[in-house]
Amino acid sequence: MNIRKLIPEDAEGYWKLRLKGLTTDPDAFLITYDEAIKKEDPIGEYKKSFLSDEIVTIGAFEEANLVGMVTLVRETRQKIRHRANIVAMYVDDEKRGKGIAKALLTEAIKVAENISEIEQLYLTLDAENKPAKELYKKLGFETFAVNKKAMKYNGQYRGEEHMVLFLEK
């Protein structure tokens, strides 16, 4: 397995994996599959974001295939530039249980630790996603809030759990 920052040439593979995630694990994302496929130029958007200084997307590859991803988004406003958010975490459902999620998050944490301004990492997860919560706790994240009715889709509510990791600098 190879873990590395994604580059513009990875955008198409990223888009395919993202669509798969929206299909297999729709509760893990705020955006729906239907909303995603309506985007005008998603591959172009990803190519651009992979070049950004404020966004770092990390991928896990088995041979040349992207099997997992996570994105670190730095806050840009002056008063909160000491924070970053972990978003769009996903591992191919056929590749789970191999430590890919842990490797991706560990790399994202390392990237954040190497950016002097970042002191805190935030993430939000589906409150019912126990495996993800266990992994985040093992890596030092702490729950600071739960919103039991954060999302509503097709008349059904889902809760969100908000977690933070304070980086030791």
Label each residue of the chain as H, E or C: CEEEECCHHHHHHHHHHHHHHHHHCHHHCCCCHHHHHCCCCHHHHHHHHCCCCCEEEEEEEECCEEEEEEEEEECCCHHHCCEEEEEEEEECCCCCCCCHHHHHHHHHHHHHHCCCCCCEEEEEEECCCHHHHHHHHHCCCEEEEEEEEEEEECCEEEEEEEEEEECCC
- How much is the pTM? 0.94
Is CATH 3.40.50.620 the right assignment for the domain spanning 2-122?
Answer: no
Is residue 75 pLDDT above 90, yes or no?
yes
* Segment 142-164 mean pLDDT: 95
Residue 168 — pLDDT band, cuts 50, 70, 90?
A: confident
